[in-house]
Structure 1
Amino acid sequence: MRTVRNIFSLMCAAIVLLAADSEGRAVESTLNPKQQSIVAISSFTANGDLEKLKSALNEGLDAGLTVNEIKEVLVQLYAYAGFPRSLNGINTFMAVMDERKAKGISDMEGREASPMPANWNRDEYSAQVRARLGGRDTIPAPSGYQLFAPVIDTFLKEHLFADIFARDNLDQQSRELATISTLASIPGLGGQLQCHMNAAMNTGLNEAQMKDFISVLAGRVGTNEAHAANAVLTRVLANRTK
């Protein structure tokens, strides 16, 4: 299994190293170390592998993620993986921090999220965020589950895309990277993964970086997760070129 995983990872890496834009100029072809750490932290939080999560948290801090950035990732993931997984991740992070402090390691705390104005319109803000992540210039009319169960749409908009996504101590590209890592690590969420892979690219992640995301999954999380996510990414890229 390790050999298969390494081969798949190397194949993905070979692809992304050749990335260039339509005019032949070099583009960013890999995720940076902090982004790669977000992938690992989110994936292991989602699948409940706390031993590997512990290693990923240490690597994330060593790569330059601040304490508050990691806290923010772990908090956001409750919206996609549930409170139990998120709380397990937070408890694991607390243990990691205690161990690092005992070793005399001082980690950068990072800044807290800025407070929102008192007259903030959460519904309007969240609708605009969701439309922008979906690649739309205008807010689409409600349809499907939004009409069938409007309360879940209210929760999605006002809490996830307002209360959470408005917190500015983690940028929205990082939030989407955490989201697709989580969704790729939970079986049966291909539809949601496809939606959020598009959203991740709408925040500025390019094709090469998305392929490197698959490579990170293959090398650090698992070949099953990587193969399934790669199939979804293939559909996403095909649809975006139409």
Structure 2
Amino acid sequence: MPHSTGSLCGTAVAAFALISLMVPQPHLAAQQPAAPTGAYAASPYLGEIRDAVLYGDIWERPQLSARDRSLVTVAVNQALYATNELRIHMGRALDNGVTQSEIAELIAHVLWYSGFPTGVNAARVAAEVFEQRGLPTSPPESSPRESRADADPLFPGAFPATPYLSDLLNQVVYAETWERPELSPRDRSLITVAVGTALYASSEVRYHVGRALDNGVTQEEISEVITHVTFYSGFPTGVNASRVAAGVFEQRGLPLPDARFPGAPYLDTLIDDLVYGETWPRSELSLRDRSLITIAMTQAAYQTDQLRVHLRRGLDNGITPEELSEMMAHVTLYAGFPVGVNGSRLLAEVLRERGIPLPN
């Protein structure tokens, strides 16, 4: 896909403003929800990105239907425990044709990939949304649970050290949950690829991209899911999922576009124009400060590949090895020792490859 010239966000803002003066835009009014009151008052640039890029561009792209985008957005916000966004997008999903039963089933499906606390939270939010819409608390179409303990295991050798986990995986997740009729296999694959992307779960993305292809999701749709989810879980997650998906596409003999991110090629344009072409050069923060923030975020999220990239970029932007060392310790207190150990290891690698002595 050719790269656009100039600022993606700035150009989009101007273009949409001009169009709105000339032509009524009922489809945009239907697609774009009203921002929560005051949500962007403290960060107007974020509001511009929301209006011009997220809703003005991403949600309008034809590669996924509005219904599919709502499915994956609700799933990702559940997985990330993003309660306010989850509430907004459950209502939006109902408006986009997702049924009450499908939302209820989505919650049950996603919790196997992001944990029961996310399912409990999402169920509570769903009950509130259903009540506000005048819908019954319990979806009338939901089918009862049917135990499939006698089903042939999909992964018979999985988790030999934890056999009960193997039983849950084979008998409950795949033999039971994936077979329930409230969501099609295609819908479940869209949701699961989205959640794997958001959680930076490379092995899950790898398996479920292949399963999605088997369940009728096209290569273009998988790429678009990754692009869409990027705006809800961050560009590092999209870059990682694009890399993993490209490997699966190649193994399947599918053609790859000539792009840096062939698993989700529209990321090329977004990263060049919005991330590095527009946001990083903004004068409100120095490049050094932006590197500090990005390193802290990628360390805290255990995003190893992106942390390595931004440690190098941080050195180029004037952060000293001593400052990076101190950051590793500081972030550890807020994100935990595992991320501190991982960050320290990566910092040592980057310093050695640059021929820089390790801090005392």
> What TM-score results when the alignment is normalised by the length of structure 2?
0.50
Once the two structures are superposed, residues 210-238 of structure 1 have per-residue CA deviations (whole angstroms, 9 ceiling, x without a partner) of 11112211345432322222122112211
Distance 1:224 1:99, change over 3 A: farther
Give 1:72 deviation, angstroms. 0.4
Residues 88-140 of structure 1 show CA distances to partners (whole Å, capped at 9, x for unaligned) of: 01111111222223xxx899x56222675xxx864435x3xx4xxxxxxxxx7
Deviations for 1:137-169, whole angstroms, at most 9, x for unmatched residues?
xxx7x44x4434333222211111122122111
Identity %: 19
Listed as ranges, the matches of 1:209-220 within 5 Å are 209-220=221-232
Q: 1:192 to 1:10 in 2, by over 3 A?
A: farther
**Counterpart AA for 1:112:** S
Larger C-alpha radius of gyration, 1 or 2? 2
Q: Could you say which residue in structure 2 is the equivalent of 1:58?
A: 91
> In the alignment, what sits opposite 2:102?
69
Q: Say if 2:77 and 2:232, in contact at 8 Å, map to a contact too.
A: no
- Structure 2 counterpart of 1:234, one-letter code: A
CA distance in 2, matches of 1:114, 1:84: 22
1:196 aligns with 2:208: yes
**Letter in structure 1 aligned against 2:210:** N
Report SS of the residue matched to 1:204. coil
What amino acid is aligned across from residue 192 of structure 1 in structure 2?
E
**Is the aligned partner of 1:124 residue 2:151?**
yes
Cα 1:207–1:66 change in 2 (3 A) is same
Residues in 1 aligned to 2:244 and 2:128: alpha-carbon distance in whole angstroms: 35
Q: Who is 1:153 aligned against?
A: 166
Any runs of at least 4 consecutive aligned residues in structure 1 with deviations exceeding 4 A, and if so which?
Answer: 1-13
Change (3 A) 1:123 1:235: farther
Distance 1:173 1:194 in 2: 16
Aligned length: 208
Q: Answer whether contact 2:226 2:242 (CA < 8 A) is retained.
A: yes
Per the TM alignment, residue 38 of structure 1 is displaced from its structure 2 partner at its CA by: 1.0
Q: Specify which of 122, 127, 141 is matched with residue 111 of structure 1.
A: 141
Q: Contact (CA 8 Å) 1:173, 1:204: kept in 2 or not?
A: yes
> Deviation string for 1:8-33 (max 9, x for gaps)?
999989xxx8xxxxxxxxxxx72222
Q: Contact 2:87–2:126 (CA<8 Å) still a contact in 1?
A: yes
- The correspondence for 2:238, drawn from 226, 232, 242, is 226
| TM-score using structure 1 length | 0.73
Structure 1 match to 2:335: none
Measure, in 2, the Cα distance between the counterparts of 1:213 and 1:90: 24
Q: 2:187 corresponds to which letter in structure 1?
A: S
